Amino acid sequence: MGRVKDAWVAFTKPEVKSEQKQLASTKQSDLTSNIASQIISTGSGYTSYSARTVLNITNIGYLNNITVYRGVSILAQAIAALEWQVFEKYGQKQRIEGHPLELLMAQPNYKRMRANFMEQLVSYLLIGGQDYVWSVQNDAVSPPLALYNLRPDLVLPEVNLDNQIYNYRYYNKDYSVQYMHPIRFFHPLNEFVGLSPLQVAASVIERQNAGEEWNFNLMSNSARPSGAFVATTDLPPLTRGKMIQEIRKKYGGGRMTAGVPLLLENGLTYIQLALSPVDADWFNSDASAGRKILAALGVDSLLVNDKEYSTYNNVAEAKLAMWELTGLNILARLEDELNMWLPPLYSPGGVVSDVELKLDRKPIELLKQNRLADTNIVLSLWNNGLAPFNSCAAEVNQPLIDDVDDFYKFGPTTFIRRSNVAAWLDQQEEAATAAIQAAAMKPPPMLPPPPGQVVVSDITQPPSNALTKRASTLPEEQYDLATGVRHMWAGLLR
């Protein structure tokens, strides 16, 4: 806490106190610059949108809008169901079961287990655009003892003259940047806060809430459309006041006054009008607003039972699209953010880490088909000699061969080291060339004789006694020539 104290002392120095506070006030104003109220004009008055603060977004969205609540819950609970695992960062990249970091992520603090902690983290991220993870440590380089998610609406980053965050204020207490890790969505106009999907959809959320309130008022009014009280003459003030009192008694008491007849006097009549365009339009605008809100969150409306305009044929395809377009991106973001912060605290020196955190994606049933297709591609590359063994094994999360020189597969039983591939290919080329040359030098086979010609058979048999006796009477030169011709034909007919 010494550094926190030194930062606070520097912040409260008389010569820089006013300037620092002015800058902090300016930065705080910048943090909330995108939450200014907007006023739009309608045909009959003005509608004021709420300020886009995290607190207001939470109140009008997550706490009072069923579409927002369900969309955030679907994503947060799906991600919270996955388990954190620790793997080797280099070499075999095998899982290290029982690693202290894995045990910490299984129970980040004594109040919450992994699922509750991750649901809170992802919910804060989706609602407020950011989450602040505070770690309890003995010192800045020691492994964390516990992790806590802080409410983003109560965390105020304090910025110095160098435009760097040097401290965080939470419940009027100082929290050092060494023990606080923010996880933010991208914001194009502010580098200190994240842009929430609900901030983008805030106006749609308020319109849907206003429609719900309008529908509730219609139900309180026995679901009747607007009407008119018509008098034949001008009403005196006393009569008008009595009429107003009766109207409020009839339509302002909710269930206690539903269905009670209204007393009309002095020729006063009530004319019921048709359903107004505002009443009729609400039924269509409510469904459209819900789809827009879910689109901002990255969840298909089919998952909240909106089957009319869904672009998917079944729920499985909608869930798969949610994982591929939204869920996996959030998983990658969380892995990168936590791997940049936590694993170095478990390595000597606290700078370079030899382990990394990963969320186990195997329980996601809908991704198994994609993994099977990827596995088939990797096996095809391996069987055709297009990729070495270790790279293919790493792609399918299998153990690697602890060898400096990797190898390829060329054929069912032929395995060649990476360093010997070039020489082996040269040998194969030389053998193929020699085989081609040998085939070219071999004489062509003799064609069978035409039909009707006599075929000399048994030419390969030894000569008969008569032939031998006759040949013995020939001169030596003629005998050698006949013997050579006979053996030549015998060789050709083999």
Q: State how far the Cα of 226 lies from the Cα of 275, in Å rounded to an integer.
A: 7
- What pLDDT, on a 0 to 100 scale, did the predictor assign at position 2? 47
Nearest to 100 by CA among 399, 288, 355, 359: 355
* Tally of CA atoms within 13 A in the half-sphere of 437 that contains its CB: 6
- What pLDDT, on a 0 to 100 scale, did the predictor assign at position 274? 59
Q: State how far the Cα of 130 lies from the Cα of 149, in Å rounded to an integer.
A: 11
- What pLDDT, on a 0 to 100 scale, did the predictor assign at position 363? 84
Q: State how far the Cα of 242 lies from the Cα of 458, in Å rounded to an integer.
A: 138
- What pLDDT, on a 0 to 100 scale, did the predictor assign at position 222? 55
Nearest to 230 by CA among 216, 243, 245, 215: 243
419 phi/psi in degrees, rounded to 5: -70, -15
Largest CA distance in the chain: 164
- What pLDDT, on a 0 to 100 scale, did the predictor assign at position 227? 66
Q: Provide the token pair at 192.
A: 């200190």
Q: State how far the Cα of 410 lies from the Cα of 408, in Å rounded to an integer.
A: 7
Could you report the average pLDDT of every consecutive run of 10 residues in the chain (494 residues)?
Answer: 43 40 42 32 44 87 92 94 91 85 94 94 94 92 93 91 90 90 92 91 88 73 60 74 72 51 60 60 72 90 76 78 91 94 82 85 80 83 83 79 77 80 82 82 71 55 49 47 52 50
Q: What DSSP designation does 95 have?
A: B
**With 0-12 CB in 10 A as exposed, 13-18 as middle and 19+ as buried, what is 114?**
middle
Nearest to 89 by CA among 431, 347, 273, 298: 347
Chain center to CA of 29? 33
Indicate the SS3 state at residue 175.
strand
Q: Provide the token pair at 144.
A: 């964390």
Residue 232 CB partners (closer than 8 Å, separation 6+)? 266, 267
Indicate the residue type of 336.
D
